[in-house]
Amino acid sequence: LKGRKIEVTIEELQKHSQIDDIWMAIKGVVYNVTSYVEYHPGGADELLRGAGKDATDLFNEVHRWVNIESMLSKCVVGKLLPSFIKPVLPS
């Protein structure tokens, strides 16, 4: 992991779900896949199903053998932070 990497919250990830600005989390790593979308062998529409979210399950369902770590090593934004449930305390 070279360069500046950030920690990404689910809320931040969700902001990047448009065709001209797509982030996607797979296996805990957040990728900026904006420039990859036109090269995706499964097409842009399929890839967009995972836009702005944790797409690990979608990814694994279709092609868990695809080596995303090497393919998209230049597109790493950072790591996905775990989301915590905010406790609602009884009064």
- Residues binding ligand HEM (CB under 6 A): 24, 26, 31, 33, 36, 40-42, 46-47, 49-50, 55, 58-59, 62-63, 66, 68, 71-72
Q: Which residue number, 72 or 80, has a Cβ lying nearer to ligand HEM?
A: 72
Q: Which residue number, 66 or 81, has a Cβ lying nearer to ligand HEM?
A: 66
Q: Which residue number, 29 or 88, has a Cβ lying nearer to ligand HEM?
A: 29
Q: How far is the CB of 7 from ligand HEM (least distance, A)?
A: 20
The pairs formed by 67-74 with CB atoms below 8 angstroms and a separation of 24 or more are 68/26, 68/27, 68/31, 69/29, 72/31, 72/33, 72/36
For residue 74, give both structure tokens: 């230049």
Q: Which helix (H) or strand (E) holds 76?
A: strand 76-80
Name the β-bridge partners of 8.
Answer: 80
Shortest-Cβ-distance residue relative to ligand HEM: 42
